[in-house]
Structure formats: structure tokens, C-alpha cells
Amino acid sequence: MNAKSGDKEDYSVPTPDPADIQNLVFANRILYKYGVVDGFGHVSLRHPQSPDHFLLSRNLAPDRVTADDIFIHNSSGEIVDATSATPYLERFLHSEIYKARPDVLAIVHSHANTVIPFGVVKQQPLRPLWHMAGFLEKDVPIFDIRDHAGDGTDLLITDTNLGAALASDMGDASVVLMRGHGATVVGKDIPEVCFRAVYTQLNADIQLKALALGDITYLTELEASAAAENIGGQVNRAWNLWCKEVDPGFEE
């Protein structure tokens, strides 16, 4: 257990806004409902009042996460506001991406099964083929842990060096596939990152089906960026629906 409760520096971290915590709880439920995460996977939010920290559940299946399970993590990936909470093993992918990408304010990591084939078949990159997934790059980067840590790892991002390697291979992309493991998706807020995680999984599913039919006409780069801009401005329509689905008492 690496929690650092009592660290002087950490007393200065502001208490997060309950509305931000609630959004993160909804995100956990929504990603489970839409099959992006199952018993595994996680979603985080950069602390809106303290950019060097981020908010992430303790080690728990996403659909079980409540507001009480969300803890403040520091830039080393450690929980600062509890001594007894067990953190996720792969919290370092969050801390290192936040460090490398000031534009990223929310992150989803999953083992979404439809994207796995595109992380292990180099000749068949995941590419946007419908307007809902214009945010995907022409060629989504693939992180191969063997390039950084050699053979025999457990494939997981269990330290800051591996987190930094993942962030580096991701570059400025929205999505990075992780060979034999899963995917990590970033966004400018919780609704956007959930939208991207859901539609990355759906684009992969549709691409697999289309590949069985024949050659695919993908979106061009211009179409992808135009579609991403248009749909990106309407993310809250889906987000408000999804919140209502996981909490019938939800009001916009």
C-alpha cells in the first residue's frame, strides 16, 4: 500500500466538487452498461482544481463504484487522501498520460474485446469508417510492451516507466491500442472520453463485420476531421441520455 496520507504537500489539495465526483461515478456505470469495461477497466478525471492530481476509484469493478470510492491520486499515481484504499494496479497509465498531455482532462482504460484484434494484427489498423468515430486517427497507434520491457511481462502498466512509455507511443492521438491487452482513450472531459470509448469499441465491431464483406471505403482524413468536429459538439446529447439510463432521477 503506497498511500501517502499525512504528506504535508498533499494537505493543500482542494476537495473536489461533488458534481465532478458524480460525473465520474456515472462514467463508471455508463462504460459498464455499454460494454467498454467489465469487471476490469477504469476511468479518471484530472482534478479540476489541482491539475497535478487526478480523481480515480479505488480498486473496484466499475459498476460498483460510488462517490465514496473516488480518491485523489498524485502525479506519481498514488492515493493521497486515504491510507486504507487499495489503488488500481494500472493507475500509472493515468498519471503519466496526464503528465505528458496537458490537453487531456479525462482518461478511460479498458480491455474492450472488439478492439483487441486491431492491436495484434499489424496489417489491419483500426480506422474510422463511420461519422461517429471521426476522432480516430488514420492509423491508431499500437503500444507493444515488449518494445519497452522485453518478453515475459504481465502486459500491465504497473509502474511509472511503463506509463511514460505508453504516453510516449500514444503521442497526440485520441486512442492508443495496447497489444494483447486493451486500449486507452483520452478526452477533454468526462462526456467526451466516454463518447470516444463507446464509439471506439463500436467502430472496431463494425470494422470487423465490414472486413468480412470485402474492401472497406474508410472516411478520408478530411471527412474524419469534419465529422469529429460536428459530432464532438453534440456529445452532451448522448451523455445526458446515458446519465438518465444509469440514474432515472438524473436531471440535466
Phi, psi (rounded to 5 degrees) for 146: -65, -25
CB atoms under 10 Å from CB of 197, counted, come to 31
- The single-letter DSSP state of residue 79 is B
Which listed residue (78, 90, 137, 192) is catalytic?
90
Measured between alpha carbons, how far is 51 from 75 in angstroms, rounded to an integer?
Answer: 9
Give residue for cell 510516449: 168
Q: What DSSP element (H or E) covers 30?
A: helix 18-33
CB atoms under 10 Å from CB of 64, counted, come to 12
Helical packing angle, 190-213 and 18-33, nearest 10°: 20
Q: Which residues 6+ apart lie within 8 Å of 81 measured at CB?
A: 5, 10, 13, 71, 72
Determine how β-strand 142-143 pairs with β-strand 175-178. Answer: parallel
Question: Is there a contact between 31 and 43 (Cβ–Cβ < 8 Å)?
Answer: yes
90 is catalytic: yes
Q: What is the CA radius of gyration of the chain?
A: 18
Q: Which residues are catalytic?
A: 90
